[in-house]
Amino acid sequence: MSIIHAACPHDCPDTCSMLISVEKGRAVKVEGNPDHPPTAGVLCTKVARYLERTYHPERLVTPLKRIGAKGSGQFTPISWDEALTTIASRLQTIAARDPEAILPYSYGGTMGFVQSEGMAARFFNKLGASQLDRTICAAAGGAGLKATYGLGVGLDGDTIDQAKVLILWGINPITSSIHFWRKAQAAKRNGSILIAIDPYRSLSAEKCDQHIALNVGTDAALALGLVHIWIRDDLLDHEYIQNHTLGFKELSERAQRFTPDYVAQTCGISVETLENLAALIGHTAIIDQQPIAIRASYGLQRVRGGGNTMRALACLPSLLGAWKHQGGGLLLSSSGFFPVNKAALEHPELLPNTPRTINMSTIGDALLHETTPEFGPKIEAVIVYNSNPVAIAPEGGKVAQGFAREDLFTVVLEHFMTDTAKYADIVLPATTQLEHVDIHKSYGHQYVLFNHPTIQPLGECKPNSEIFRLLAKQMDFSEACFHEDDETIASQAFDWSHPHMQGISFESLKAQGWQRLNTDSIPFAQGQFPTASGKCEFLSSTLAAQGLDPLPDFIPPYESVASNPELAARYPLAMISPPERHFLNSTFVNIESLRKTTPEPTLEIHPIDAAARGISTGSLVAIFNDRGNFQAKAVITDKVRAGLVVAPSTWWKGMSRDGKNCNEVTSQALTDLGNGPTFYDCLVEVKVA
């Protein structure tokens, strides 16, 4: 038996190091690597089932051609030769008219550089296909963070157990980042106070010392309310502000209108709660000179004002000089610490011109768009890999309608017959992480990881990279980069001469499986933010140059009782659809052992709202608005605020009784910054089905 170093490929901030035991060519055990500090020997419940997923009897193992109606799931096996010839000839015909009519669609199925945008990006660049704006997850928060700190950077996750006040702001780590939760527990043992800020009493919020259940999408008001109080009470680190921040005077003026009364009313919390929160954080940081940390996640930026929300939050630790202490500051993402060599991976010089960009969050509208001068050509072909848009993209009715178009040529690279694969003309069987090479960064910690293949590809499966390599060959793309193998692509993923890579080489990384970046565990004690000014920018010249508000503000949701009373008269309940613990986005929904604990879609609703609608626990309910409807089993609980319903996500439509999921009702409206989706900015009504 041999034990091989692998990396968890999933879209999860923990990016675990895995050890795979292989016996006679078969993977027999998947374990968390005890030596990798963030993993510390444990995997989550989902990936602990990675073998069940890999060797699942329904794995796609041959190329398939559709023989039934789009969406029906009727296919017949074909050879790789037939599949590649058909795809190449269809794409060539369309490209001869206008390559922009071809669209790649991909996201977080795997986070590895080789199997995501390595060979694939080269292929679509050379083709001159439309570019995809990959906004579906983190665009708003990412843009807000970048405007304030310069890059997606923050406090070192390894040190977060040293915080004396730890705020879990819009994150439910027991579900979505179990290794961070372990650190939070360690912080608690070190005497830290844990506070959850979340409209929903999530599994994690329930276990914190305090839970502040604010209205969805009002976090920026709360943050600016804290700024208001800290200025009023002079709980500020004047020296840090003076030396390492930009725009304090302007921010102070902005914060004036965020009086405790206004903030409490906007957020739906008491003035006392707000004052106590401000005093606890302010005193710990300024009077006691102890580290305070904010762990924010993407849950709070899936609303209209998501970008400004992150801007407002990002200002907080700098006002208090929290960065001076180990374990102090804010963490949303650590991605910006990694010197990724995007140009070497993607070869942008292959682009014949600058093609248009399609936003993946509005794929429904895009697929239904006719040719116009502003939009460009109607989309004639979509190639989907590492994503399941029919399940995960907003306003799913339109997405399905778009994919059902008879005149659309669709290719899906997949492990399983997902909701999206069912609409394909041709489905290509892709390898899993056990069957291919890859290399990874993380957005929750600061370690690079290498993934060795452990077993031969199942059946006729091929890595995404190989599929695009073969398509490139079929289309006579002759540049040298189309001949590079996966290890070569992996070796190009990082700028190895960057100071953060000191002590790490491709060979040493392959040997150890993981290595920590050479980064400071107290990154911004001396300022040195990666912004143009080198400071934390409360006032952003970059945003000002784009004609945007240079200061953070509270931007009310598109859809809430306060911001849209006419709509709320018909649809009075706010719906959020955060991750279900046993799924990873729509991945793992088809794993039987996990579905035992999560057999069907549910909707959590407050007792007052349930009673008003004659709903009891176990009732089948219909959730609806003008965009669509879906069904779920009601769970009556005071974990949700009155006026809020929670639909744990994201179900395969094909696995729910009505063939629909929560994205039937979510909207394609976009965020203030970053053009991100607004999944949690969604009013609905609920009735017994």
Residues that bind ligand MGD in the complex, under the rule CB under 6 A:
11-12, 107-110, 115, 136-137, 169-172, 175-176, 197-200, 202, 216-217, 219, 297-300, 303, 385-388, 391-392, 413-416, 418, 430, 464, 576-579, 581, 583-587, 649-650, 662-663, 666, 679-680
Residue among 5 and 134 whose Cβ is closer to Mo ion: 134
> How is residue 505 written in tokens?
């080489």
The secondary structure of residue 423, as a DSSP letter, is G
Q: Which is nearer to ligand MGD, 360 or 379 (CB)?
A: 360
Q: Is 653 helix (H, G, I), strand (E, B) or coil?
A: helix
Q: Does 8 bind ligand SF4 (CB under 6 A)?
A: yes
Query: Which of the listed partners (Mo ion, ligand MGD, ligand SF4, none) does 16 bind, with a CB threshold of 5 to 8 Å by partner kind?
Result: ligand SF4
What would the two tokens of residue 378 be? 């109607």
Whichever of 539 and 673 has its CB closer to ligand MGD, that residue is 673
| Residue 55, token pair as written in the block | 């060797």
Contact map string, positions 552 to 591, toward ligand SF4, x by CB under 6 A: --------------------------------x-------
Q: What residue number has its CB nearest to Mo ion?
A: 137
Instruction: Specify the residue, 16 or 241, whose C-beta has the smaller distance to ligand SF4.
Output: 16
Would you count residue 16 as binding ligand SF4 (CB under 6 A)?
Answer: yes
Give the x/- contact pattern for ligand SF4 in 25-54, rule: CB under 6 A. ------------------xx-xx-------
Q: Which does 387 bind (CB under 5 to 8 A by kind): ligand SF4, ligand MGD, Mo ion, none?
A: ligand MGD
Torsions phi, psi for 169 (to 5 deg): -105, 105
**Nearer to ligand SF4 among residue 334 and residue 362 (C-beta):** 334
Of 4-12, 384-392, 503-511, 587-595, the window that binds ligand SF4 (rule: CB under 6 A) is: 4-12
Which CB sits closer to ligand SF4, 178 or 665? 178
Residue 673: Cβ-neighbour burial (10 angstroms; 0-12, 13-18, 19+): buried
User: Which phi and psi (to 5°) does residue 356 adopt?
Assistant: -70, 165
Q: Give dist(CA 418, CA 422) in Å, integer.
A: 6
Q: Which residues of 472-490 are buried (b: 16+ CB within 10 A; e: fewer)?
A: bebbebeeebbebebeebb
If 0-12 CB within 10 Å is exposed, 13-18 middle and 19+ buried, where does residue 553 land? middle
Pairing outcome for strands 683-688 and 628-636? unpaired
- Partner that binds at residue 174, options ligand SF4, Mo ion, ligand MGD, none, CB closer than 5 to 8 Å by kind: none
Q: Which does 8 bind (CB under 5 to 8 A by kind): ligand SF4, Mo ion, ligand MGD, none?
A: ligand SF4
Least separation in angstroms between residue 442's CB and ligand MGD is 12
Q: Residues binding ligand SF4: what is the number (CB under 6 A)?
A: 13
**CB of 317 or CB of 578, closer to Mo ion:** 578
**Could you tell me the smallest distance in angstroms from the CB atom of residue 40 to ligand MGD?**
18
Query: To the nearest whole angstrom, how small is the minimum distance from the Cβ of residue 114 to ligand MGD?
Result: 10
Q: Which of 144/578 has CB closer to ligand SF4?
A: 578
Find which of ligand SF4, ligand MGD, Mo ion, none residue 666 binds, CB within 5 to 8 Å per kind: ligand MGD
641: DSSP letter:
P
DSSP 530-598: SSSSSSEESS-HHHHHTTS-SS------SSSTTT-HHHHHH--EEEE-PBPTT-BTTBTTT-HHHHTTS
Kindly state the smallest distance separating residue 221's Cβ from ligand MGD, in Å. Answer: 11
Alpha carbons within 13 angstroms on the beta-carbon side of residue 315 total: 34
User: Running DSSP on this structure, what letter comes out for residue 436?
Assistant: S
232: its two tokens:
């009023």
Q: Please state the separation of Cα 149 from the chain's center in Å.
A: 20
Q: How far is CA 57 from CA 73, 386, 555, 589, 592, in A?
A: 17, 20, 48, 15, 11
- Minimum distance between the CB of residue 289 and ligand MGD, rounded to whole angstroms? 27
Helix (H, G, I), strand (E, B) or coil at 223: helix
For residues 91-150, which are near Mo ion according to CB under 5 A? 137
Comparison of 245 and 362: residue with beta carbon closer to ligand MGD: 362
Cβ-based neighbours of 244, under 8 Å, separated by 6 or more = 318, 323, 524, 526, 527, 529, 535, 536
Which range touches ligand SF4 (CB under 6 A), out of 10-18, 54-62, 96-104, 262-270?
10-18
Does 434 sit near ligand SF4 (CB under 6 A)? Answer: no
Question: Among 14, 161, 198, 486, which residue interacts with ligand SF4 (rule: CB under 6 A)?
Answer: 14
Instruction: Choose among 231, 233, 193, 186: nearest CA to 209.
Output: 193
* Shortest Å, Cβ 403 to ligand MGD: 13
- Residue 131 or residue 202: which is nearer to ligand MGD going by CB? 202
Which of ligand SF4, ligand MGD, Mo ion, none is residue 643 near (CB under 5 to 8 Å by kind)? none
599 secondary structure, DSSP code: -
Residue closer to ligand SF4 (CB basis): 8 or 358: 8
Q: What is the smallest separation between the CB atom of 44 and ligand SF4, expressed in angstroms?
A: 3
Peptide bond into 650 cis (omega under 30): yes
DSSP string for 84-147: HHHHHHHHHHHHHH-GGGEEEEE-SS---TIIIIIHHHHHHHHHTPPEEE--TTTHHHHHHHHH
Q: Which of residues 169-228 bind ligand SF4 (CB under 6 A)?
A: 178-179
Task: Summarize as ranges the residues that interact with ligand SF4 (CB under 6 A).
Answer: 8, 10, 12, 14-16, 43-44, 46-47, 178-179, 584
Residues that bind Mo ion (CB under 5 A): 137
